[in-house]
């Protein structure tokens, strides 16, 4: 198991730096927690947790995205996202994270009768669902199993010079969390998998059973912003010496045992941040997002819009900083020694502040509570 997994990780080109996302500047104590709940909003969202004592009662029932909250996937910020894309008949759009087909369907409805949609998801099960959900519009949809990071290549391979709007709704769908076989849930036993694209050779079990203690601690700290990362890594290494860690519930138990009771909070399951870190690493989510952002402006017509819905602070920060750089007159990457651009902004922000879901949407769909929608419009070159 160990040497095979190490070979798989090596073959996938991931050192721990790549898994963590080497181009990211990760700071601990981000604005949002790993659950994505901004500290100032917690009281409103979770009434009755106002004393420190109550806050320390551990939550061992499940994460904010655990199955009791969802039946199928409810699209988040649906109207807001589709409005911002200015969907127009006759034009072409991309949904880079088709998931359950909710946003895709809304785009198709608003672009009827002749707008076109390229719907992408790297999860084969998701694509099957999307195909069913979009059945009535099938002659206007191109369904692709691929990564949105490859969008420039996807368009080039099909001789599509550019599109009029692109949407990303990042992360997991409720279908992932609700299916114990996918290994994302810490309250339901399942194989420790966590791959969204099951062609990916590396699972969470591979990482947990083969990375060194120092690498595990670094990964859990950087990607999960988990302050107890060293303790957790130590426990994981001890536990795997007894038997490889192969199930999501055993991983959760080990992490819970590693976190001192006084460090637990009733706001989230103690394993939330560790699960988040592993999931981000297995799917190289920040790297995918960075690669997408590096190429996406070439995929848009002038006047075309890009809308991104993110769910945690690391991905939101990447989007926010990139959009801010594009909107400045000089938009050279920060590590270039001198300005090499022509001093024109590449985009215009469509909204100054991120759009967040209204309280009613959060009440009906708690998963929406950490969502942030940012939108820019590509500007016409002078």
Which residue, among 126, 104, 113, 229, has the nearest Cα to 171 in the 3D structure? 126
Quote the CA–CA distance of 151 and 146 in Å, as a whole number: 9
Q: Could you tell me the smallest distance in angstroms from the CB atom of residue 243 to ligand SAM?
A: 31
**Are 376 and 165 in contact, with CB atoms under 8 Å apart?**
no
Q: Tell me: does residue 36 bind ligand SAM (CB under 6 A).
A: no
In Å, how far from its chain's centre is CA 11?
24
Q: Tell me: does residue 102 bind ligand SAM (CB under 6 A).
A: yes
Q: Which stretch binds ligand SAM (CB under 6 A): 17-25, 121-129, 208-216, 334-342?
A: 121-129
Q: Could you tell me the smallest distance in angstroms from the CB atom of residue 167 to ligand SAM?
A: 7
Q: Which stretch binds ligand SAM (CB under 6 A): 109-117, 167-175, 356-364, 373-381?
A: 167-175
Q: Among residues 63, 173, 209, 365, which is the contact residue for ligand SAM, using CB under 6 A? A: 173
Q: Tell me: does residue 165 bind ligand SAM (CB under 6 A).
A: no
Q: Tell me: does residue 365 bind ligand SAM (CB under 6 A).
A: no
* Contact positions with ligand SAM (CB under 6 A) in 235-274: none
Q: Could you tell me the smallest distance in angstroms from the CB atom of residue 238 to ligand SAM?
A: 33
Q: Could you tell me the smallest distance in angstroms from the CB atom of residue 265 to ligand SAM?
A: 25
What 173-176 contacts at long range (C-beta under 8 Å, 24+ apart), as own/partner pairs, is 173/73, 173/99, 173/100, 173/126, 174/65, 174/67, 174/69, 174/70, 174/72, 174/73, 174/74, 174/100, 174/367, 175/72, 175/73, 175/99, 175/100, 175/125, 175/126, 175/129, 176/123
Q: Which stretch binds ligand SAM (CB under 6 A): 93-101, 182-190, 268-276, 326-334?
A: 93-101
Q: Tell me: does residue 196 bind ligand SAM (CB under 6 A).
A: yes
Quote the CA–CA distance of 327 and 171 in Å, as a whole number: 25
Q: Tell me: does residue 121 bind ligand SAM (CB under 6 A).
A: yes
- Beta carbons within 10 angstroms of residue 1's beta carbon: 12
Q: Among residues 148, 221, 275, 323, which is the contact residue for ligand SAM, using CB under 6 A? A: 148
Helix 272-283, helix 248-258: angle, nearest 10: 130
Q: Which stretch binds ligand SAM (CB under 6 A): 14-22, 27-35, 116-124, 296-304?
A: 116-124
Q: Which stretch binds ligand SAM (CB under 6 A): 1-9, 166-174, 178-186, 264-272?
A: 166-174
Quote the CA–CA distance of 58 and 264 in Å, as a whole number: 5
Quote the CA–CA distance of 84 and 373 in Å, as a whole number: 10
Q: Among residues 36, 64, 75, 304, which is the contact residue for ligand SAM, using CB under 6 A? A: 75
Q: Could you tell me the smallest distance in angstroms from the CB atom of residue 360 to ligand SAM?
A: 18
State the residue for tokens 């990211």. 24
In Å, how far from its chain's centre is CA 268?
18
Q: Which stretch binds ligand SAM (CB under 6 A): 94-102, 213-221, 242-250, 265-273?
A: 94-102
Q: Output the residue with the shortest Cβ distance to ligand SAM.
A: 99
Contacts of 342 (CB under 8 A, 6+ apart): none
The mark string for 267-306 relative to ligand SAM (x by CB under 6 A, - otherwise) is: ---------------------x------------------
How many chain residues bind ligand SAM (CB under 6 A)? 21
In the complex with ligand SAM, which residue's Cβ is closer, 209 or 322?
322
Residue 147 CA neighbour count, 13 Å, CB half: 20
Quote the CA–CA distance of 52 and 124 in Å, as a whole number: 45
Quote the CA–CA distance of 105 and 102 in Å, as a whole number: 5
State the residue for tokens 């895709």. 104
Q: Could you tell me the smallest distance in angstroms from the CB atom of residue 118 to ligand SAM?
A: 12
Q: Among residues 82, 117, 141, 149, which is the contact residue for ligand SAM, using CB under 6 A? A: 149
Binding residues vs ligand SAM (CB under 6 A): 73, 75, 97, 99-103, 120-123, 126, 147-149, 169, 171, 173, 196, 288
């Amino acid at each position: 198991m160990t040497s095979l997994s190490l070979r798989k990780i090596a073959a996938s080109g991931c050192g721990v730096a790549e898994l963590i996302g080497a181009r990211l500047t990760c700071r601990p104590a981000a604005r949002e927690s790993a659950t994505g709940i901004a500290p100032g909003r917690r009281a409103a969202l979770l009434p009755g947790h106002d004393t420190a004592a109550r806050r320390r009662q551990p939550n061992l029932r499940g994460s904010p995205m655990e199955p009791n909250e969802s039946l199928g996937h409810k699209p988040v910020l649906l109207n807001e996202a589709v409005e911002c894309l200015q969907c127009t008949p006759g034009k072409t759009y991309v949904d880079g994270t088709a998931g359950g087909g909710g946003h895709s369907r809304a785009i198709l409805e608003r672009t009827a009768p002749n707008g076109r949609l390229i719907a992408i998801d790297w999860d084969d099960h998701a694509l099957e669902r999307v195909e069913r959900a979009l059945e009535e519009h099938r002659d206007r949809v191109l369904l692709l199993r691929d990564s949105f990071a490859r969008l420039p290549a996807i368009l080039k391979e099909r001789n599509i010079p550019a599109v009029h709007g692109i949407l990303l709704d990042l992360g997991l769908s409720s279908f992932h969390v609700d299916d114990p076989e996918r290994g994302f849930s810490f309250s339901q036993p399942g194989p420790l998998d966590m791959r969204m694209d099951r062609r990916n050779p590396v699972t969470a079990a591979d990482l947990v059973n083969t990375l060194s203690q120092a690498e595990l601690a670094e990964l859990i700290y950087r990607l999960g912003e988990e302050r107890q990362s060293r303790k957790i890594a130590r426990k994981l290494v001890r536990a795997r010496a007894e038997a490889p860690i192969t199930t999501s519930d055993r991983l959760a138990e080990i992490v819970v045992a590693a976190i001192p009771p006084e460090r637990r909070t009733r706001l989230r399951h103690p394993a939330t941040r560790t699960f988040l870190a592993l999931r981000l690493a297995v799917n190289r989510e920040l790297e995918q997002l960075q690669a997408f952002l590096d190429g996406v402006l070439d995929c848009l017509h002038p006047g075309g819009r890009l809308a991104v819905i993110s769910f945690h602070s690391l991905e939101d920060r990447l989007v926010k900083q990139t959009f801010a750089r594009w909107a400045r007159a000089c938009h050279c990457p920060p590590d270039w020694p001198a300005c090499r651009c022509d001093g024109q902004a590449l985009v215009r922000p469509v909204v100054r502040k991120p759009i967040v879901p209204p309280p009613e949407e959060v009440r009906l769909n708690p998963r929406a509570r950490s969502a942030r929608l940012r939108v820019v419009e590509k500007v016409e070159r002078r």
